[in-house]
Amino acid sequence: MRYFFTIAYKGSLYHGWQKQPNAVTIQQKVEEVFSTIFNQPIEVVASGRTDSGVHATQQVFHLDLPDNVEPRQLIFKANKMLPQDVALLDVKAVGNEVHARFDAISRSYQYKIIKRKDAFSADQAYYFTKELDLQKMNEAAASLFEFEDFESFSKVKTDVFTFNCEIFEAEWKQEGFTLVFYISANRFLRGMVRAIVGTLLEVGQHRINPEDFKRIIREKKRTLAGRSVPAHGLYLTDVKYPQEIYL
């Protein structure tokens, strides 16, 4: 039977989700634990990859289990073996043809910026001290709903058939000393959120205006957009699926 597992991780010590040679990744750690438990090679399939240093409060992967395995007992056993900064949170049975990546209908991210130095958030939020115009940043962010093609915010060398994405949410919120950017879409391009945030910071510093932000999107050139902000401020926070996939 196929199951969807929800997992959270602090990405600081890892080279992203996807396993790769000569680097420690989240997928590698998860598969090593499951392979040890079942005494055979195990592979899992996630909703998508997160880059090196990026965190997740809710990543989803699927795994096929024998009928005699109790999935919640498996979570309990696996959590004892996983590193402290990786935690399995939940498990749900789904149809055998359901796919963690291809059946996702939306993904949500948050990017966190701290405005004063915090010893406990050094690798979990971007310390940025320059003054920012939050109203202008939100004005520019709202224009994301007007577009579908986001090639300007994609990594240059990426193997995709389309740069089109449908954005459902894009908003900055001030939460105490933390500035948080919320963004949700049906899909994201590689490096997209960090490039959008970097460009919106240009707006916030009055280096460009909201109309310039729109022009950058229309031009479809990564060189016109702002720099990618550091990975350690980015969190994958939600992956949604059609309710009917769950058994």
Q: What is the predicted pLDDT for the residue at 89?
A: 98
Where are the CATH 3.30.70.660 domain residues in the chain? Answer: 106-238
Is residue 182 a known part of a binding site? no
Q: What is the predicted pLDDT for the residue at 141?
A: 98
Classify burial at 120, counting beta carbons within 10 Å of its beta carbon; exposed 0-12, middle 13-18, buried 19 or more. exposed
Q: What is the predicted pLDDT for the residue at 106?
A: 98
Where are the CATH 3.30.70.580 domain residues in the chain? Answer: 2-102
Q: Domain 106-238: give its CATH architecture.
A: 2-Layer Sandwich (3.30)
Residue 132's CB is within 10 A of a number of other CB atoms, namely 20
Q: What is the predicted pLDDT for the residue at 88?
A: 98
Q: Which one is the CATH code of 2-102: 3.20.20.330, 3.40.50.300, 3.30.70.580, 1.10.287.3510?
A: 3.30.70.580
Alpha-carbon distance values, 42 to 29, 63, 64, 177 (Å): 11, 9, 9, 43
51 belongs to the catalytic site: yes
Q: Which residues, given as ranges, of the chain have pLDDT below 50?
A: none
Model pTM score: 0.96
Q: What is the predicted pLDDT for the residue at 160?
A: 83
Nearest of 208, 186, 201 to residue 233 by alpha carbon: 201
Q: What is the predicted pLDDT for the residue at 157?
A: 74
Out of 51, 85, 118, 123, pick the active-site residue.
51
CA angle (190, 194, 197) in 5-degree steps: 140
